[in-house]
Amino acid sequence: MVQGELLYEGKAKKVYATDDAGLVLMTYKDDATAFDGRKKGTINNKGIVNNRVSCLLFKLLESKGIETHLVEQTDDRKVVVKKLDMIPVEVVVRNRVAGSLSQRLGLEEGIPLSSPVIEFYYKNDDLHDPMINESHAMVMGWASEAELLDIKTKALKINEVLQDFFDGIGIILVDYKLEFGVFAGRVLLGDEISPDTCRLWDKESLEKLDKDRFRRDLGKEEEAYQEVVRRIEKALL
């Protein structure tokens, strides 16, 4: 696999072309950002952890019949993935009240929800990723009705698998972000699932094991990320 030109650089990853038009190479960075990039920093080895966690979780989901963009991890920071036509709608799945949901509704963080809540956001940094509904997504041409139904169905199945898995390793899956894209006419899970994109709390102590440690100046970000990958590897390898 030959690495080609840089196609895209985001807050957490770089994406390169390859000698296969249907595949790209993603490289994970240690850069950490929060609040639409207003807060910036570095978490040592974050890129290595996020790549490892995401690849392991994507393989778990693949084993449960959920198609993802994953092809193969090539080294600690790099992974070959299918080149998706990304749908510009972020999907947030919530199992407990936290973050912006707590702020919007004036509810205490940590309250369990009676069933998962799925929210949609328009992926646009300049507009700060505003919350949208399904009608917005369809009318604006960001996703079809069929794609949105497929996305919701997949998101709920992903949630079942991940909630059960994380519960088994002593972690509460509070909420998390998913991104999807189209490949050969099929909607596939893309991007990553990692401590950057999830809220993960220890079941016993409720200690935060995710990027909220960076957002909220709690410290020990590297240790929290390493604890997550340690537990996942112990369960899956």
pLDDT digits (tens, 9 = 90+) for 10-45: 999 999 999 999 999 999 999 999 988 889 999 999
Q: Mean pLDDT over residues 104-116, rounded?
A: 98
Structural domain boundaries in the chain: 3-82, 85-227
Residue type (1 letter), 146: A
C-alpha 58/C-alpha 144 separation (Å) is: 25
What mean pLDDT is predicted for residues 100-115?
98
pLDDT value of position 37: 81
- Asked whether residue 4 carries a pLDDT value surpassing 90, the answer given is yes
- DSSP run (H or E) holding 140: none
* CA–CA gap between residue 73 and residue 144 (Å, rounded): 31
Task: Please state whether the predicted TM-score (pTM) of the whole model is above 0.85.
Answer: yes
Amino acid 194 reads: S
Q: Residue 184: is its pLDDT beyond 90?
A: yes
Residue 185's closest CA among 155, 156, 210, 150?
150
**What pLDDT is stored for residue 36 in this prediction?**
80
Q: Which among 159, 161, 164 is positioned nearest to 178, based on CA atoms?
A: 159
Averaged pLDDT, 180-185 = 98
3 state SS of 8: strand
Q: Which fold has domain 85-227?
A: D-amino Acid Aminotransferase; Chain A, domain 1 (3.30.470)
pLDDT > 70 in the chain, percent:
100
CATH architecture of 3-82: 2-Layer Sandwich (3.30)
Contact 192, 54 (CB under 8 A): yes
What span, in angstroms and rounded, lies between the C-alpha atoms of 107 and 90?
23
Q: Do domains 3-82 and 85-227 have the same CATH topology?
A: no
The CA radius of gyration of the chain, in Å to the nearest whole number, is: 17
| Average pLDDT over every residue of 95-105 | 98
pLDDT at 225: 98
- Rounded CA separation 78/140 (Å): 34
Average pLDDT (194-210) is: 98
Reply yes or no on whether the pLDDT at 1 is more than 90. no
Q: Rounded to an integer, what distance in angstroms lies between the CA atom of residue 97 and that of residue 74? A: 37
The neighbouring-strand residues paired with 112 are: 96
Residue 202: the pLDDT is 98
46-77: pLDDT as tens digits: 999 999 999 999 999 999 999 999 999 999 99
Report pLDDT digits (tens) over 121-173.
999 999 999 999 999 999 999 999 999 999 999 999 999 999 999 999 999 99
Tell whether the model's pLDDT for residue 99 goes beyond 90. Answer: yes
One DSSP character per residue, 183-235 reads ETTEEEEES--STTTEEEEETTT--B-STHHHHTT---HHHHHHHHHHHHHHH
pLDDT of residue 172: 98
Give the end-to-end CA distance of the chain in Å, rounded to a whole number. 26
Residues forming beta bridges with residue 31, ordered by sequence position: 42
